[in-house]
A and B are shown apart, each in its own frame.
Chain A
Amino acid sequence: MILEILSIGLIVSACLALFLDEVVYSVAALAGTFLFTALLYYVNGAIYAGIFQFVVGVGTLAILFLSGEMLSDKSTKKTSPKKLSALIGAGVVLSLPAIFLSVSGSTGVYSDASFGDALWSLSGVDVILQALVILTVALGIAIILYEQKKGGK
């Protein structure tokens, strides 16, 4: 029962995040999406995934709230209660197939590797991905500095 409630909450908050007119309320709905996802992971036994989803979600949302305040047009219209209830209804309807339908089939792959073993065996991929992260951040900083230099001229 709790999984069904969480999945309905997930889809409804995703719909609200995309289609609410106010940016700040959209970001608040996205916070709900991240929270429901973390709870789904936790309830299904993926505890580490739930904790990481929660932590990363909090960081992303803090930045999104700030940039949402900076970028939003102050003259945006407010969402009417009719549209809000329509969005919630659409979200509930969209979450029904996940509750009542099922896809059968098995991958045939099974491994009893624990979380620690899996993380250790993936350490090579981790190093490559960290290099990618550093490269991406360096690229972002270079773009910002280039734009500032260009704007200063």
Chain B
Amino acid sequence: MDFVILSLVMLAIGIYGLLTNRQLLKVFISIELIATAATLNFVMLASSMGQGLGQAFLILAFSTDTAVSGVVLALLVIVTKKYGTSNINEILKMQEKRDSEAEQ
């Protein structure tokens, strides 16, 4: 059982989801998975060496991660309410349409 490979697989799944999903909430879930993979690797390596340092860093990482998650979710709600959809492609099309209308 190797936690480095486990966290690498988690990271790969997160990056794949980030590149392929077009829904904003799924993109956010991908980012959460990438953050989980990073912390998993860190804590497992630290705990296998008998250190408390990894756990202490995890708590610090969680505090920033949660704040960033809150702001990202607030932005998601604003964008979805503004454009009426949570699909990135549709949002980009609407933005291009608005830009072209503004130029004319």
A residues adjacent to B (C-beta < 8 A):
3-4, 7, 10-11, 14-15, 17-19, 23, 26-27, 30, 33-34, 37, 40-41, 44-46, 48-49, 52-53, 56, 59-60, 63-64, 67-68, 70-73, 94-95, 97-99, 101-103, 107, 109-119, 122, 125-126, 129-130, 132-133, 136-137, 139-140, 143-144, 147
| Inter-subunit contact B86/A73 (CB<8 Å) | yes
Smallest beta-carbon distance A66→chain B, Å: 9
How many residue pairs, one in A and one in B, have C-beta atoms under 8 Å apart?
A: 190
| Inter-subunit contact A137/B47 (CB<8 Å) | no
User: Can you name 22 A-B residue pairings with CB atoms under 8 Å?
Assistant: A11-B9, A18-B17, A23-B26, A33-B36, A49-B59, A60-B69, A67-B73, A67-B76, A70-B80, A71-B76, A71-B77, A98-B6, A103-B4, A110-B50, A111-B49, A118-B51, A118-B56, A119-B59, A125-B60, A132-B67, A133-B63, A140-B70
| Inter-subunit contact A130/B63 (CB<8 Å) | yes
Chain B 5-39 interface 0/1 with A at a Cβ cutoff of 8 Å (1 = within): 11001100110110001011110111011001001
Instruction: Determine the residue in chain A with the shortest Cβ distance to B1.
Output: A3
Smallest beta-carbon distance A85→chain B, Å: 18
| Inter-subunit contact B71/A137 (CB<8 Å) | yes
Chain A at the B interface: SS class: helix
| Inter-subunit contact B66/A59 (CB<8 Å) | yes
Chain B 53-69 interface 0/1 with A at a Cβ cutoff of 8 Å (1 = within): 11111111011111111
Within the complex, which residue of B25, B40, B69, B75 is in contact with A40, where a contact is CB–CB below 8 Å?
B40
B2 within 8 A of A: yes
| Inter-subunit contact B52/A113 (CB<8 Å) | yes
B48 within 8 A of A: yes
| Inter-subunit contact B74/A7 (CB<8 Å) | no
| Inter-subunit contact B1/A98 (CB<8 Å) | yes
Closest 7 CB pairs of A and B: A115-B52, A140-B71, A98-B6, A18-B17, A118-B56, A46-B47, A118-B53
